[in-house]
Amino acid sequence: MTHPAQLLIVDPQNDFCDIPGATLPVAGADADMKRLAALVDQAGGAIEDIVVTLDSHAVYAIERPAFWQQPGTDGSPQPVAPFTQIKADDVRAGRFAPRDAALRGPVLGYLDALEASPKKYILMVWPTHCVVGTWGHNVHGELAAALGRWEAARLRTVEKVLKGLNPMTEQYSAVRAEVPIAGDPRTQTNRALVDRIVGFPGLTFIAGEASSHCVAATAEDLFAEMSAERLARVVLIEDAMSTVGGFEAGASSFAQRARALGVRTMTAAQALGLLSA
């Protein structure tokens, strides 16, 4: 192979895999991670750099059920179910409220900023997932083992990048939070990550979960920093990423935008062929 290779794996964690015990399983993710593990084992000698992002949260955070309540029919506070979308107008109208009443003002400011952002996200209350220190936060077992073998064989370490640690902002992208918070550099642009990926001199292969959300958000933030020549050296491994159910259109449009920028898409088998050439 004429150029060095880099692998960026977005959120390859147990809670996103369709395996027993996962809290936010993505259909197809287990098979994705097994294909990716095989790729690392078979082509690891050609891979010079591996970066893994890890969705990293507490139980209590703005996109978690524990953060919210809603009035019941008798006016008493009731829990909010996962997969509920909450807008600023909902909070102003009293349809939803933070359980900590003191946070109403900051929450409204956050939701207004989120809805006005270029991505125009609406806050989603997700099932509690990827809580730091739990099994769900861990890297998929077969992939973790393959990454360990790569470290031992290549005498270097896989770079792990935690994202989502501030409970008052969502963070799909590993580059920055959806609404960066002043005073918390964890939510602001991760220049070290951007420079590591954008400045890599060879091919960058991207995989992970989910293509509709964190893969797309991370990749597009990185694409925005790349020249046309650099974009031509990026490859999406299309069968090593899957979409959250119901968000297939978002994943498809992400792939279309990437290809329009000059990014290539290929299967893990095709990537292996390229890495082995």
Q: Is 114 exposed, middle or buried (0-12, 13-18, 19+ CB in 10 A)?
A: buried
Q: Are residues 187 and 97 in the same domain?
A: no
Does the structure show a pLDDT above 50 at 1? no
**For residues 35-59, average pLDDT:** 97
Q: How many percent of the chain have pLDDT more than 70?
A: 99
Answer positive or negative: Cα dihedral of 173, 157, 138, 184.
negative
The whole-number pLDDT of residue 120 equals 80
**Domain end: 125, 151, 167, which one?**
125
Instruction: Name 125's bridge partners.
Output: 84
Give the domain CATH number at 216. 3.40.50.850
Helix, strand, coil shares of the chain as percentages rounded to 5?
40, 20, 40
Does the structure show a pLDDT above 50 at 205? yes
Q: Answer whether 0.85 is exceeded by the pTM.
A: yes
Structural domain total, the chain: 2
Q: Are residues 138 and 115 in the same domain?
A: no
Q: Are residues 205 and 112 in the same domain?
A: no
Q: Give the model confidence (pLDDT) of 102-136 as tens digits.
A: 999 999 999 999 999 887 889 999 999 999 999 99
C-beta of residue 154 within 8 angstroms of C-beta of residue 44 = yes
Domain hosting residue 73, numbered range? 65-125
Q: Are residues 241 and 149 in the same domain?
A: yes
Q: Are residues 169 and 222 in the same domain?
A: yes
CA distance 12 to 192: 21
Q: Are residues 48 and 94 in the same domain?
A: no
pLDDT band at 272 (very low <50, low <70, confident <90, very high): very high
Strand ranges in 148-233 using DSSP code E only, listed in sequence order? 159-163, 203-208
Q: Are residues 259 and 146 in the same domain?
A: yes
Query: Nearest-CA neighbor of 218 among 197, 244, 245, 239?
Result: 197
Q: Are residues 71 and 46 in the same domain?
A: no
Q: Are residues 145 and 71 in the same domain?
A: no
Work out whether strand 203-208 and strand 234-237 pair parallel, antiparallel, or are unpaired: parallel
For residue 210, cis peptide bond before it (omega within 30 degrees of 0): yes
C-beta of residue 147 within 8 angstroms of C-beta of residue 50 = yes
Q: Are residues 219 and 140 in the same domain?
A: yes
Q: Are residues 88 and 197 in the same domain?
A: no
CA distance 218 to 65: 24
214: part of which helix (H) or strand (E)? helix 214-223
Least confident range from 9-18, 57-66, 88-97, 248-257: namely 248-257
**Domain end: 125, 154, 174, which one?**
125
Tokens for 247?
A: 């968000």
C-beta of residue 36 within 8 angstroms of C-beta of residue 145 = no
C-beta of residue 129 within 8 angstroms of C-beta of residue 15 = yes
**Domain end: 125, 157, 174, which one?**
125
Q: Are residues 231 and 215 in the same domain?
A: yes
Helices (H), 224-267: 228-231, 248-260
